[in-house]
Structure 1
Amino acid sequence: MKTVLLLDDARSIRSVYAEVIRQAGFDAQTASSAEEGLQYIVDHGTPDLIVTDINMPGISGLEFCKRVRHVAKHTPIIVMSALSDKGMVAEAKTVGVQGWMLKPVEPEYFLNKLRSVLGEIQALSS
């Protein structure tokens, strides 16, 4: 079973999308901050996919992505954000972010994006 690590400081966002992930047959792990997400990786290893908010208190989602790249160079990362900042999107791509979704994200679109990115990674490793 593929594991998806979902980071968002909003409990309601984590709850809704974690349930969408679980209903699709994936293992959903959540973190309310980048610090928690990094600790999850230290404690449990790298998940198959990471979905992170970009604006969080403490370490930003973008900084989280940069730090993840030091320990998990090939783990796919998708960013969810209420912001559509072209500069931030470009910077996220430089650290290997595979996707950007604008909040609010429809559950069906969210799931299709996850499946698409996981499918691309699986095809590359075959």
Structure 2
Amino acid sequence: MGGILIVDDAAFMRMMIKDILTKNGFKVCGEAENGAVAVDVYSDLKPDLVVMDITMPEMDGIEAVKKIKAKDSSAKIIMCSAMGQQAMVIDAIQAGARDFIVKPFQPERVVEAVKKALG
């Protein structure tokens, strides 16, 4: 299917990211409100890229990255983190994430990270 899967427990954050991506010509193929849902829908949607929040209920972004990478070693994932989550970002990168963007989002930085990850 392709496109980008947006994972964040805050609906307004998903909307904000979706808005930035669609305005810049990217296709959003799905959304998930936590890591557990993201892992479930990943196989169905086969996204080109996942934009994943780090802190979420049920299953956090780091755990979800590990599970998605176990299913698909070529999965491309970018993490979203709040200020002060550097240690978690490092964990996520070690788990297989490609890059990270920091909230509050700067549209240029989001677009740059997505373009870079999609190569």
TM more than 0.5: yes
How many Å apart are 1:83 and its aligned residue?
Answer: 3.9
Which protein has the larger Cα radius of gyration, Structure 1 or Structure 2? 1
Q: Which residue of 1 aligns with 2:10?
A: 10
Percent of residue pairs bearing the same amino acid type: 30
d(CA) in 1 for partners of 2:41, 2:54 = 18
Q: Which residue of 1 aligns with 2:95?
A: 95
Residue ranges of structure 1 left out of the alignment (5+ in a row): 120-126
The count of corresponding residues between Structure 1 and Structure 2 is 118
TM-score (ref. length: structure 1): 0.85
Contact 1:4–1:47, Cα closer than 8 Å, also in 2: yes
How many Å apart are 1:2 and its aligned residue?
Answer: 4.8
Q: Which residue of 2 aligns with 1:124?
A: none
2:41 is the alignment partner of 1:40: yes
Moved over 4 A (4+): none
Q: What is the Cα-based RMSD across aligned positions, in Å? A: 1.6
Contact 1:18–1:30, Cα closer than 8 Å, also in 2: no
**1:3-27, CA deviations, whole angstroms, 9 ceiling, x for partnerless residues?**
1111001111101111221222222
Contact 1:2–1:26, Cα closer than 8 Å, also in 2: no
